[in-house]
Structure 1
Amino acid sequence: MSPVSRPARTAVIGGGMAGCAAARTLVKAGREVVLFEAGEGLGGRARSWHRPEIEPHVGINLMYVSFYPLMTELIREYGLRDELVKISSDVYIVHKGRPVPLSSDSPLNLLKYPHAPLADRFRFLLWSLGEVRRRKQLDLFDPVKVAPFDDGTSAAELGYRKLSREGFDTLLRPQIEGFWNFACEKISAVHARALLAWLGGSEFYVFRDGMQVLAERNAEGADVRTGHEVTDLQTVDGGRVRVTARPASGEPVTETFDDVVVAVPAPIAAKLAAALPQEVVGAGTRRFLESQEYEPALSVSFLLDPAGLPSHAHIVAGGPDDPPLRNMITYPRRVRDEQGRPVDRLLVFAYPGRAVTRRLLGRPTEEQFAEVAPLLRTLWPDLAAEPQPFQIAERPFGFPIPAPGRYRRSVEVMRNQGAPVVFAGDYFNSPTTEAAMLSGVRAAEKLLGTR
């Protein structure tokens, strides 16, 4: 009788959206999967914090948008539709101290928008309609589709060709930089074009208990090891990979796997790849990983009287400069007062601009709250109530910057990578949860030989 063959054993390094999507694909294919995550739980940058003082008790970090195809299918499969809470897609753009609403769904609202010259409003509308007709090619998540359009031009260069400087800086720039905080001068023009093609008419949602529920469901069937930071990868005889991980408490542990998906931020992936031989990770992949830049994110949240701000609002700074406060997002919450009575409040997430974020990262929370609180009035001058400090979340690797030409380079890396080590992450495409998951699925398919 021949011995029973064992299933291939795969390590997935990183329990964010990319890693958990890769784990799901591999488990469904019959692989034995061990998922290593350095943090306390799954979800990565999509993971929300929870505080019992508020109801709902979750802090929302990322949104689901109705044009996310992979996420939409998973929500249906897992029966999570009731977990979604619809929020307004309207944006308030603040320029020269004046907040003005701008709806992506209303051409009439756009034509009445006072921050940009009338001629630019018409040009912007026509430009958007033209990109909508190219939706199938301008896929925000798939670098294979958009790479042919990635000609090395930046979003700012394209925007200034299409609109006046004032028009671009008060129409499209705030909508790009308000969501991701990276400078339009540093990102590919095709990223801006894809946004124009898809944002109009879209619906925005958050998960009632945080988006990590999707990562947790995707990881089902894998041996999930949270609190385990992978510190070293080495190849061994037979083409297998030895993984060394350091638990939160205890001595490092080493195991050997048939292959590995590395789904961590690019700078960390580059360090893990350093000890691997050239035939496993080629020079082009190494250069790609080492060249990726990230814009860090600092989320400083406060509780405020609901009369002081619109609820379910996304309030962003307009203009060409890096402002002290880039945006605010507001969500209604119910809080118990000192007598235990329910009181309506707004949970306000404040995101400083690039320079302020970099200066405040790693500083004591008291200093972060003290510096950011006065900045709220730079975006909403009529704010009457004093903000109550509540929660801070730091993301040193907040948003991978889709630099001009990067989509072309990422496609080349994706096509050339293969067993026993592959890489996944939103730095291959765009800084969205949908893109991260697609990257994880494709990395897993490379190991399975189905792509």
Structure 2
Amino acid sequence: MPEHTRIAVIGGGMAGCAAARELTAAGKEVVLFESADGLGGRARSWRRPEIEPEVGINLMCASMYSTMWGMIREYGLEGELEKISSNLLVSDGTVVAPLPSDSIPALLRYRHVRLRDRLAFLYSSMREMMVNGRTGRIDLFDPERLADFDDGTTATEYGRSLMSHRGFDYMLRSQIEGFWNFDCDGVSVSHARAMLATMGGAEFFVFREGMQVLAERNAADARVLLRHEVSEVRLEHGRVVVSAQGEGGEAGGEFDAVVVAVPAPIAAKVVASLPREAVGDRMRDYLEGQEYEPALSMSYLVDADALPPETHIMAGGAEDPPIRNMITYPRRVRGADGTVRDRLLVFAYPGRAVTRRLLGRGPEEQYATVTPLLSRLWPGFPRDPEPFQVAERPYGFPIPSPGRYRASVAATRDQRPPVVFAGDHFSSPTTEAAMRSGIRAARGILGTS
């Protein structure tokens, strides 16, 4: 491409900012359009000055995120990370049992399922790690390698071929649905197998200032236009024209190429007027067909001894529970009088049906509905917790349905500049996969992929 190529990036999430980093490093002029008032997309955290650290909802950085860790070291952000416990408790109504990921003896003592299921889970995990994970045959963040295992089987079918129904529902299902909230009955076997091959023994961290600090560093050399919503991408006389609405009115301009790094349904609308030679039918069908599981995070402050600290509490079983999981973080909270108390900040995530019913309803109704349900997951949950913050994500998690990875690979193989796409919907719903997708899209424009 020409030496002074001007490129637009639509979307300031982890994929778009990773693409911007790759493009600006190659000497390209990059204009990044983001509809929100800050970067980070779904990885962006809210802030409240009365808590220490003041960052709230925060996606995790895992030890196997190689791309992310490379950037953390390059930017010298190691000191921004706070290691969190991998404590995992699974609830069966009134009984809660630990399900460790880093201790085989403790795993073999897991009380919700029979010993035969525990052994089957351990054997399957070790086999996936040794045969497919360590050899690189499967990769949770690489759609090409996920596609090789995407034979139309669901995660549920795979899990129940290894162990009893209860064994699957209280071990593998609990972990997949607890982290992502989508239904294993409609998720590709590739996702389950890659998770087994990848997650064993992983360590987890959060950014003290929020994961958006990484997005901001990646986009530092681009021209960033916040509060600019793109309505259309079209071609005129061989140039890409981006139409956007900003606070000052119409915005946008002409570019040599564009990276579209927004949720798939939004991407499909933005490029709808482009000719088939710019965006082929496979990509259009893929974008229009991608479904998402929305996410709703309800946070509370409770006394420091009300729940176990630094713990992920998940609902077991096959049913969609009213509360899917809780995560507890110790925080210091400064009151109006200046006094500081040790509290627990508890994030509660409703199940799928409750989440969909409450989206857009307003905090008062959301808290009134969710608070009485919390004791169903943790029977001893305080009766009068202090509501703290609500975070809604209508496009929470792209659902990796059976056949989705094969469709992803076919669609991306067809795409060519000047219009390319990026996002975690092409791979797994993780920040690592999103960034890798953004880098691949940028390299497709640069001709270095």
- Asked if the contact 2:51–2:334 (Cα under 8 Å) also holds between the matched residues in 1, the reply is yes
Structure 2 Cα separation of the partners of residues 254 and 313 of structure 1:
45
Is 2:342 aligned against 1:344? yes
2:239 corresponds to which residue?
240
Residues in 2 aligned to 1:137 and 1:80: alpha-carbon distance in whole angstroms: 31
Question: For residues 237-260 of structure 1, what are the alpha-carbon distances to aligned partners after superposition, in whole Å with 9 as ceiling and x for unaligned?
Answer: 0x211101101x232124100000
Q: In the alignment, which residue of structure 2 is the partner of 1:211?
A: 211
Equivalent position SS for 1:23: helix
Match in the other structure for 1:172? 172
> 1:378: how far off?
1.1
1:126 matched to 2:116: no
Asked if the contact 2:326/2:347 (under 8 Å) is kept, the reply is yes
Q: CA deviation at 1:198?
A: 1.4
1:60–1:206 Cα contact (<8 Å) kept? no
Gaps of 5+ in 1: none
Tell me by how many angstroms 1:271 deviates: 0.3
Quick check: 1:51–1:58 contact (8 Å CA) kept in 2? yes
Residue pair 2:234, 2:240 contacting (<8 A) in 1 also: yes
Matched, 1:353 2:351: yes
SS at match of 2:262: coil
Cα offset for 1:340?
1.7
1:414 to 412, 415, 424: 412
C-alpha distance in 2, partners of 1:383/1:253? Answer: 50
Deviation at 1:338, TM superposition (A): 4.2
Contact 1:426–1:432 (CA<8 Å) still a contact in 2? yes
CA contact (8 A) 2:315 2:323 kept: yes
Taking structure 1 as reference, are residues 6 and 121 closer, same or farther at Cα in structure 2, changes over 3 Å only?
A: closer
The letter of the residue matching 1:80 is L
Match of 1:57 among 24, 49, 54: 54
TM superposition shift of 1:275: 0.4
Give the aligned partner of residue 68 of structure 2.
71
- Secondary structure of the corresponding residue to residue 392 of structure 2: strand
| Contact 2:50–2:335, Cα closer than 8 Å, also in 1 | no
Q: TM-score, normalised by structure 1?
A: 0.97
Task: Confirm or deny: 8 A CA contact 1:48 1:61 kept in the other structure.
Answer: yes
The AA in structure 2 aligned to 1:183 is D
Report deviation, 1:375: 1.6
Give the secondary structure class of the aligned counterpart of 2:148.
Answer: helix
Partner Cα separation in structure 2 for residue 383 and residue 279 of structure 1? 57
Structure 1 window deviating more from structure 2 (136-145 vs 35-44): it is: 136-145
Aligned-pair distance for 1:109?
A: 1.1
- Supply the distance in 2 between the matched residues of 1:96 and 1:35 (Cα, whole angstroms): 48
- The worse-fitting range, judged by mean Cα deviation, of 38-47 and 56-65 is 56-65
Contact in 2 for aligned 1:304/1:385 (Cα 8 Å):
no
Report if aligned partners of 2:14, 2:431 keep a CA contact under 8 Å in 1: yes
Tell me, in whole angstroms, the C-alpha distance in 1 between the residues paired with 2:204 and 2:58. Answer: 13
Deviations 1:105-141 (A, max 9, x none): 1111111111011110111110111001110112000
2:334 and 2:5 mapped to 1: Cα distance? Answer: 52
Distance in structure 1 (CA, Å) of the matches to 2:28 and 2:413: 22
Alpha-carbon distance in structure 1 between the residues aligned to 2:234 and 2:33: 16
Q: Is 2:8 aligned against 1:11? A: yes
Matches within 5 A, 1:64-143: 64-133=61-130, 134-135=132-133, 136-143=136-143
Q: 1:96 offset after TM fit, Å?
A: 2.2
Alignment deviations for residues 26-57 of structure 1 (CA, whole Å, 9 cap, x no partner): 00111100000000000000000000111111
Contact 1:151/1:404 (CA < 8 Å) preserved in 2?
yes
What does 1:145-164 align with in structure 2 at a 5 Å threshold?
145-164=145-164
1:313 aligns with 2:292: no
Distance (whole Å) between structure 1 residues aligned to residue 358 and residue 146 of structure 2: 35
Matched residue SS, 1:304: strand
Once the two structures are TM-superposed, the CA of residue 348 in structure 1 deviates from its matched residue by: 0.6
Which amino acid counterpart does residue 40 of structure 1 have in structure 2? D
Q: 2:44 matched to 1:47?
A: yes
| Whole-Å separation in 2 of the counterparts to 1:254 and 1:333 | 43
Gaps in structure 2 of 5+ consecutive residues: none
User: Matched residues in 2 for 1:6 and 1:25: separation?
Assistant: 15
Q: Percent identity?
A: 61
Tell me the alpha carbon deviations over residues 4-41 of structure 1, each in whole angstroms, 9 at most, x when there is no partner.
Answer: x7610000000000000000000011110000000000
Worse overlay, 265-274 or 371-380 = 371-380
Q: Is the 8 A contact 2:302 2:382 kept in 1?
A: no
Question: Is the Cα contact below 8 Å between 2:93 and 2:377 reproduced in 1?
Answer: no
Provide the rounded CA distance (Å) in 2 between the counterparts of 1:420 and 1:36.
17
Deviation at 1:405, TM superposition (A): 1.1
Q: Offset of 1:379 from its aligned partner?
A: 1.2
Partner of 1:93, secondary structure, is strand
TM-aligned CA deviation for residue 370 of structure 1: 1.2
Judge conservation of contact 2:332–2:343 (CA < 8 Å) in 1. yes
Determine the C-alpha separation between the residues in 1 that align with 2:284 and 2:381: 49
Report the 3-state secondary structure (helix = DSSP H, G, I; strand = E; otherwise coil) of the residue aligned with 1:288: helix
- 1:438 is aligned, of 436, 441, 445, to 436
Q: Could you say what the CA RMSD is over the residues aligned between the two structures, in angstroms?
A: 1.0
Cα distance in 2 for partners of 1:61, 1:52 equals 15
Secondary structure of the 1:308 match is: coil
Q: Please state how far the C-alpha of 1:415 moved relative to its aligned partner.
A: 1.4
Rounded to whole Å, the distance in 2 between the matches of 1:36 and 1:384 is 43
CA distance in 1, matches of 2:314, 2:233: 42
Aligned partners of 2:234 and 2:380: how far apart in 1? 58
The whole-number CA distance in structure 1 between the counterparts of 2:277 and 2:13 is 27
Q: Distance in 1 between matches of 2:335 and 2:271?
A: 52
Find the counterpart in structure 2 of residue 293 from structure 1. 291
CA distances 1:372-422 after superposition (whole Å, capped 9, x unpaired): 111221111012452100100100000000111111111111111111100
User: Structure 1 residues 12, 338: CA separation in 2 closer, same or farther (over 3 Å shift)?
Assistant: closer
CA contact (8 A) 1:308 1:385 kept: no
How many residues of Structure 1 are paired with residues of Structure 2 in the alignment?
A: 445
TM-score normalised per structure 2: 0.98
Partners of 1:395 and 1:384 in 2: how far apart? 26
Distance 2:150 2:244 in 1: 38
